[in-house]
Structure 1
Amino acid sequence: MSLPTDAELNTIGVLNRRLIEARIVAPLLEAMSAAFGVDRVHAIARKVIESLATAQGAQLAHATGGCSLAHFEHTLDRWKADDALHLTVQESTVERFAFDVTRCRYAEMYRELGIPELGAILSCNRDAALIGGFNPDVDFTRTQTIMSGASHCNFVYTLTRATPP
């Protein structure tokens, strides 16, 4: 049996992947939290998710053939698939890429599942780690999220050192 690659898994869309993951992971985290304490379990889950996202970022850079902000910008369709994100690009240059997410179906999904507190761990938490794996010379800043109740998410990626194209 040959396991599907990440690219093949992406054909179902990231939103659907997160839904499947959440339906499996949420009950596991709930049971482990009852046994070991919610703070401890959530800290471990955060660390695991960040590690996975860092590795996925490196795989994404390899798959796109580069790690520039332009390469990264072209990957956003993966997360926008199935109308999952509505975003407005604020700036797109060689050194800076900034956008606002004005609708997030990921946040809506976690709320509908009754696990809004896990949304940040299972989704938002990936963003900084993903770009770190994609290009460690890019700083990520976000001061608010829809998941935490804000009207929009503000993503800013800034290149700190020159990156080969």
Structure 2
Amino acid sequence: MAEEPTANDVPTKAAAQGPDKSFVLPMIERRRIEAEILKEVYDTLKESHGVETAKTTIAEAVRRSSKSQAKRFADEARAREGRTSMASFLALRPLWTMNGALEIEMVEETNSRLAYNVTRCRYAEMYRAMGLGEIGHLLSCQRDGTFCEGYDERLKLTRTQTLMQGASHCDFRYVYEKGEKAPER
């Protein structure tokens, strides 16, 4: 089994949080902090506007946040390498897996394809423990596809099931399409 990622395993600028630029806030901790706030927003919206409006609003806010975060990571990849690529995308993976947040079975990893199954997701476990099981898929799972949109439109994700919604595993299948350089956003 591979060792836990450290701050040296991820792009420092992309991962740095706070005044100490060598400090890396694991993504699962960031999501926990966000979820604590969004739980109150969700509950308030449910009371004032109903469940569907609350879910729609949370989904849209998280979608926008995901695309914005992805754009920042893409900008940093372009500054370092002149472009985004499957390699620059893969360099970000330790942020999401840090501290055992995900247990992954690798299926395929090439310059244009990445396929793996998540067999344990501590994000899903965390959301359920926080009483957010009904919107956990909005807080985390939907981010995966919209992250691709913000990072590089040539990066596509297909996923047919998630642990958060009761499946035995999450099936991530990424394809980095060939073609023109993605436009900078």
CA distance in structure 2 between the partners assigned to 1:135 and 1:104 by the alignment: 25
Q: Secondary structure at the match of 1:11?
A: coil
Query: Shift in Å at residue 98 of structure 1?
Result: 1.0
Query: Shift in Å at residue 94 of structure 1?
Result: 2.0
Question: Is residue 137 from structure 1 mapped to residue 154 from structure 2 by the alignment?
Answer: yes
Q: Partner of 2:20 in structure 1?
A: none
Structure 2 unpaired stretches of 5+: 1-12, 18-22
User: Among residues 120, 124, 131, which one is paired with 1:114 in the alignment?
Assistant: 131
For the 8 Å contact 1:86–1:104, the answer to whether it is kept is: yes
User: Among residues 109, 113, 123, which one is paired with 1:92 in the alignment?
Assistant: 109
Q: Secondary structure at the match of 1:161?
A: coil
Larger RCO, structure (CA 8 Å, separation 6 or more): 1
Output the amino acid matched with 2:164.
Answer: M
Query: Shift in Å at residue 151 of structure 1?
Result: 1.1
For the 8 Å contact 2:45–2:53, the answer to whether it is kept is: no
Q: Partner of 2:120 in structure 1?
A: 103
Question: Is residue 127 from structure 1 mapped to residue 144 from structure 2 by the alignment?
Answer: yes
TM-score by length of 2: 0.80
Distance 1:75 1:163, change over 3 A: farther
Query: Shift in Å at residue 6 of structure 1?
Result: 6.2
Question: Is residue 61 from structure 1 mapped to residue 74 from structure 2 by the alignment?
Answer: yes
Q: Secondary structure at the match of 1:90?
A: strand
Question: Is residue 26 from structure 1 mapped to residue 39 from structure 2 by the alignment?
Answer: yes
CA distance in structure 2 between the partners assigned to 1:45 and 1:115 by the alignment: 12
Question: Is residue 78 from structure 1 mapped to residue 95 from structure 2 by the alignment?
Answer: yes
Q: Secondary structure at the match of 1:12?
A: coil
Aligned length: 160
Q: Partner of 1:13 in structure 2?
A: 26
Q: Secondary structure at the match of 1:162?
A: coil
Query: Shift in Å at residue 63 of structure 1?
Result: 2.2
Output the amino acid matched with 2:68.
Answer: A
For the 8 Å contact 1:67–1:163, the answer to whether it is kept is: no
For the 8 Å contact 2:14–2:76, the answer to whether it is kept is: no
Q: Which has the higher helix share?
A: 1
User: Among residues 167, 172, 176, which one is paired with 1:159 in the alignment?
Assistant: 176
For the 8 Å contact 2:63–2:146, the answer to whether it is kept is: yes
Query: Shift in Å at residue 163 of structure 1?
Result: 6.0
Output the amino acid matched with 2:16.
Answer: E
CA RMSD of aligned residues (A): 1.7
For the 8 Å contact 1:26–1:118, the answer to whether it is kept is: no
CA distance in structure 2 between the partners assigned to 1:63 and 1:99 by the alignment: 25
Following superposition, which runs of at least 4 residues in structure 1 exceed 4 angstroms of deviation?
Answer: none
Q: Secondary structure at the match of 2:135?
A: helix
CA distance in structure 1 between the partners assigned to 2:50 and 2:104 by the alignment: 37
CA distance in structure 2 between the partners assigned to 1:6 and 1:108 by the alignment: 26
Query: Shift in Å at residue 159 of structure 1?
Result: 2.2
TM-score by length of 1: 0.89
